[in-house]
């Protein structure tokens, strides 16, 4: 999955597959996490958030199950 760079102190890049509803988040330390069941709307809001790191922590980390890839 292709990831797009984001302007964030904690997150390097974000990828999304609308068919599988998987969101990939690449952190600055090189860790990549895949979150399952993420809607296109959540992805859109995440990419347009004034602070991607805050949106990630508030709306994604505790709401969706993740696996490290």
What average pLDDT score do residues 60-69 get? 96
DSSP state string for 5-18? E---SSEEEEEEET
pTM: 0.94
For position 63, what pLDDT does the model report?
Answer: 96
pLDDT in tens, 28-54: 999 999 999 999 999 999 999 999 999
Question: What residues make up the domain containing 10?
Answer: 3-68
Residue 67 pLDDT grade (very low, low, confident, very high; cuts 50, 70, 90): very high
Domain count, the chain: 1
d(CA 28, CA 14) in angstroms, rounded, equals 11
């Amino acid at each position: 999955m292709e990831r797009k760079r984001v302007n964030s102190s904690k997150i390097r890049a974000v990828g999304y597959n609308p068919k599988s509803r998987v969101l990939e988040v690449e952190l600055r330390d090189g860790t990549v996490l895949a979150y399952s069941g993420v809607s296109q709307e959540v992805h859109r809001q995440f990419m347009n958030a004034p602070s991607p790191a805050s949106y990630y922590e508030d709306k994604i980390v505790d709401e969706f199950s993740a696996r490290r890839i």
